[in-house]
Amino acid sequence: MAAVPHHVVSGPGPEARAVAHPLRDLFIELLLLFSVGYNFVLAIVNAQLVSISPAMTYAAEFLIYASCFGIGIWTMERQKIVAILSGIGLVAAVMLFRYLMEWHVDAKFIRDALIPFAFLVLGTSYGGSLPRLFLRMAIIVSLIGAVELTAPDLYGNVVNPKSYYVNTRGADASGFWNQDSNLFVSATRPGERNFLPGSDLPRASSIFVEPVTTGNFIVFFCAIVLVFWRSYRPAQLALCGLLLLFLVVASDGRLAAGTSILLLMGAPLLRRMDQRLSFLIMPLTVLGAMLLVWITRVSAYEDTTLGRIYLTVHALREMPAEAWLGLNFDVPYTYFDSGIAYFVASQSIMVVGAFLLAFAFGLEMPTQDGQAFKNFFMLAFSTSLLVSNSLFSVKSAALWWFVCGAMWQLRDVPWVAGAAGPFGKRVRSSRSAADGVVS
């Protein structure tokens, strides 16, 4: 099969056409980087130029979502446009129903539901190399994290996460444990670190401004490496491993390390599992959590991984019927440490069920790599929701949905066909992206 120039893009007719758009791809990469790092940019502006208000952060996010739709919608197949509009229509219908029942609407819940659609659309317009893109991003994240670790006072003075979160999120400055630090509230904490006891180093936040999202990025990049490892040369794979190890230690990412190990252990099954069975992963994860709580006999919440899993199980057992239907707008905010309970209460069980079925049967990936990534995503998403709702933030969710969009747009040829590899090498064309090897 002949190599195509860049990326398979849908056109007006039934057949796909291959079109290279390097400038558009560059703009998309910069937009994606801004999407995950806009807090970093705004925090510097807040610390060095002018105080940032919550309205400015909302405007930045609106600009991101508008750009995603504005760029991506022109390259999508008509069938996929209909699927996206149908999904948005379902969410809008449920939101309207909830409004008519309660005469209340919460903009955050609408924003949570909008993120997947926006970045799916953006991903479909991308024609570059995903392994190269995210290796570059991992290097950027690691370099800024290294500066933060070696010069925490410099990072704190230039970025000043404390001031930024006080101004934009209503955080209480007195609630920061270390009053002598301008870093994020959980960047420094009492007691010794798990990975580097006695080092007195902060937890690296890098471009994400807070360390939890750094942990989410570790899991995402681990999935990228596990899915696209054939597109890296041995030296590049070694670099990926070193970057992952550094970020785990730098961010004190114990949960990220555990989730990454879970992805690694499940990789043989996830690569071969029918993508239409992915809707089973979340309910099976919840059942596994219930079994774990029963075996360990945990009976009270505490701020540990097991304690948060208990909170999820307890919340799902105790949530009232109106919360399951999304008709209690206060309940979601009581479950920030239980992402699944937050998901159900903020969107309703109808939307959650529709999401799982649409993800499994509607988001059909035509390549083996796309199917593998889809399964990795659902496992990472489900396990993360046991202890946090952080994957609903644009900083974390954008990356996963962007890759889903890029892999969803393909036909029967891999996205790596004829494209440059991570460091400018050419990649052999094949029927499956899993067979693409940097030459």
233-252 pLDDT tens trace: 999 999 999 999 999 998 88
DSSP secondary structure string, 263-293?
Answer: HHHHHHHHHHS-GGGGGGHHHHHHHHHHHHH
Q: State the residue for tokens 């002949």.
A: 2
Phi, psi (degrees; rounded to nearest 5) at 196: -125, 70
Tokens for 297? 């006999």
Q: What is the pLDDT of residue 438?
A: 40
Tokens for 194? 């798990």
pTM over 0.75, yes/no = yes
Q: What is the pLDDT of residue 134?
A: 97
Tokens for 27? 């703009």
271-295 pLDDT tens trace: 999 999 999 999 999 999 999 999 9
State which of 13-17, 155-159, 264-268, 384-388 shows the largest mean pLDDT. 264-268
Q: State the residue for tokens 């008709």.
A: 327
Average pLDDT over residues 120-125: 94
Q: How far is CA 37 from CA 121, 206, 246, in A?
A: 20, 9, 19
Q: What is the pLDDT of residue 426?
A: 37
Across 85-99, 249-263, 320-334, 411-425, least confident range? 411-425
Tokens for 317? 């057992």
416 contacts: CB under 8 Å, gap ≥ 6 = 129, 131, 231, 427, 429, 433, 436
Among residues 73, 172, 64, 67, the alpha carbon closest in space to that of 111 is found at 64
Rounded CA-CA distance 254/397 in Å is: 20
Tokens for 62? 């609106």
Average pLDDT, the chain: 83
User: pLDDT > 70: what percent of the chain?
Assistant: 82
Which amino acid is it at 407?
A: M
Confidence class for position 16, pLDDT limits 50, 70, 90: very low
